[in-house]
Structure 1
Amino acid sequence: MSLNIKYLPNYHYKEIHLLKVVGTAEEIMSAILNYQTEDDFFFRWAIALREIPARLFSSTDQLISQPPFSFNNFTLLEQTSHEVAFGLVGQFWKKDYGQIPISDAESFLAFKAPDNAKLVLYFKLDQDHKDFYVTTETRILCLSSKSLAKFRPYWYLIRPISGIIRYRLLRQIQKNVYKSK
C-alpha cells in the first residue's frame, strides 16, 4: 500500500504534479528531504502575502515568535526508498493556519478532532528505464461538515498558487539533484 493511501485513504481534495528528474533514487530522495522553502522566492512571496492578515492583527510578541510557514511545519510520517509522506493538521483557513502540532505518524493517524483538516504531502519516485519521475500528491481531508464548509472557499482561493508552488518545488528538487553531481 502506498504511503498516501496509508495515511489518508479518504480525502475531499487532492492535487497531483509530476516531473522527470535525472538522478539516482538516493539523490532524488535526499533532494526531497532536504528541500528548503526558503530557497524559493515565489514561495516566500506567496506565504508573506497569505500571512499579511495574521501579521497585521497579531500582537508584537506573536509576530516575532512565529516564523513564516514553511516545509518545516510538516511532520515526516514515513519514508521508504521510493516514497515519503509528510503530514499537517489544523484549520488551514484561519489566519494563523490553526496548526496543531503532531509528533509522529501515530499521532497523525489518531487525530480526529472535528472542525479540523488533515493534509498529506506525498512524494513518489517511479522509474522508467533509467529515468525517474517524481510525483507529488497533496490530499486534504476535512474532519467535519463544518471544516469542509470553511475549507472549501479557502481551497479554491489558494489552489492555483498551491499548484504553482508544487511545480516549483519539483523543479527545485530537479535543480538540487543536478547541483549535487
Structure 2
Amino acid sequence: MAQDGALDRLLPRWDHRERHEIAARAPREQVLRAVDETRWKDLPLFHALLLIGSLGTRRDKAHEPFLGSMTGGGFTELHRDERQLVVGAVVATGEPKGPARLAEPVAASFTAFDRPGHYKVAFDFRVGEGRLTTETRVLSTDEATRRRFARYWTLIRLPSGLIRREWLHGIRRRAESSPGTRS
C-alpha cells in the first residue's frame, strides 16, 4: 500500500517503526468496524499474559473492546476515514509518567508536540486491496529520551510485534465472520 496516509502526516519522522500486514477478505468497512469491535478474548495470548502478569489482581476484560481499553488508557484517535484509523499518544518519561493531555484539535497538537522528556507513539490500521496493515511509529522529543526509549524498545519490540500480529488475526477473524463477507 502506498505510504500516503494520515500516519505519514501525523508522524512523518520516527526513531522506531514496526509494520505488519495480513490478507483480509472482507469489505473495507467491515474490516475497520472489526478493529473497533475486536475484544480481549479475540487476543487469547495477550489476554492470558496480562492476567498471568497481574497475578490475578487485574479484572478480566475478555468481552471489552481492545482498542476501547487503549483509548480509555491514554491513547487518542487522531484520524479516521474509510480506509485508515490512526491512534496515538504523547508519553512523559519523567514524573509524572504516562500520557500527556493533548490540546484541541488533538491531531494538530500531537503533530506539533515537541516538549523534551516525552515520546510520541502512533499506530494505524489501514485497509486496501484485500490487505490489512498496522504500523507503529515512535519519535522521542530529545536525545536523552531517545536513548532511554531505545533500551526499552529492545525489550518490547518482539512481544509488541507478537501482539500486533495477534491483533491483526483477531480483526480478520471478526471481519470475515461478519454477515456479508465475500469469500
Under a length normalisation based on structure 2, what TM-score does the superposition of the two structures give? 0.77
- Unaligned 5+ segments in structure 1 are 56-68
Deviations 1:90-124 (A, max 9, x none): 046x8x96222336212212322111100111111
Shift of 1:40: 2.3
Shift of 1:45: 4.2
Indicate whether 1:151 and 2:149 are aligned: yes
SS of the residue corresponding to residue 137 of structure 1 reads strand
Indicate whether 1:27 and 2:30 are aligned: yes
Distance of 2:40 and 2:102 partners within structure 1: 20
Distance of 2:147 and 2:102 partners within structure 1: 24
SS of the residue corresponding to residue 102 of structure 1 reads coil
Query: 1:119 corresponds to which residue?
Result: 121
Give the % identical residues: 26
Kindly indicate whether the alpha-carbon contact (under 8 Å) linking 1:86 and 1:121 is maintained by their aligned counterparts in 2: yes
Corresponding letter in the other structure for 1:102:
L
- Unaligned 5+ segments in structure 2 are 58-67
Shift of 1:126: 2.0
Shift of 1:70: 4.0
Distance of 1:7 and 1:51 partners within structure 2: 34
Please report the RMSD computed on the Cα atoms of aligned residues, expressed in angstroms.
2.7
Query: 1:177 corresponds to which residue?
Result: 175
Provide closer, same or farther for how the CA distance between residues 18 and 97 of structure 1 changes in structure 2, counting only shifts above 3 A: farther
Provide closer, same or farther for how the CA distance between residues 8 and 150 of structure 1 changes in structure 2, counting only shifts above 3 A: same
Query: 1:161 corresponds to which residue?
Result: 159
Provide closer, same or farther for how the CA distance between residues 75 and 37 of structure 1 changes in structure 2, counting only shifts above 3 A: farther
Provide closer, same or farther for how the CA distance between residues 79 and 12 of structure 1 changes in structure 2, counting only shifts above 3 A: same
